Amino acid sequence: MTGMVALYIFMLAAFTGYEVISRVPVILHTPLMSGSNFVHGIVLVGAMVALGNAHSPLEKSIGFIGVLLAAGNAVGGYVVTERMLEMFKSSGARQARASKGTH
């Protein structure tokens, strides 16, 4: 990937992010923030590569912390978002789960 291509990707991705969010209702602001929080958990991939190529003990220690934190970001972001979105149901869908508790 050349620098210019990377720059194009950067620009297009920025516009994509803006477009995807621009017409979102207030009701979904918190879940969406949580969802985008999950998406940047992709840093896990980079942290794995960094640790996978680490040599000195210092690099390995920092890499270890990086992977640990990144895994927390990805897993935590998913669990929290999923729990929040689980609750969004319309009147119709609610009838079906009348007996199911909200734990």
Restricted to residues 28-87, the positions that interact with other proteins (CB under 8 A) are 28-56, 58-60, 62-87
Q: How far is the CB of 94 from other proteins (least distance, A)?
A: 5
Does position 8 bind other proteins by CB under 8 A?
no
Q: How far is the CB of 17 from other proteins (least distance, A)?
A: 4
In angstroms, rounded to a whole number, what is the distance separating the alpha carbons of residues 27 and 86? 14
In angstroms, rounded to a whole number, what is the distance separating the alpha carbons of residues 60 and 50? 9
Q: How far is the CB of 24 from other proteins (least distance, A)?
A: 4
In angstroms, rounded to a whole number, what is the distance separating the alpha carbons of residues 81 and 35? 6
Does position 24 bind other proteins by CB under 8 A?
yes
In angstroms, rounded to a whole number, what is the distance separating the alpha carbons of residues 32 and 39? 10
Q: Contact with other proteins (CB under 8 A): which of 3, 4, 96, 99?
A: 3
Is the Cβ–Cβ distance between 49 and 19 less than 8 Å? no
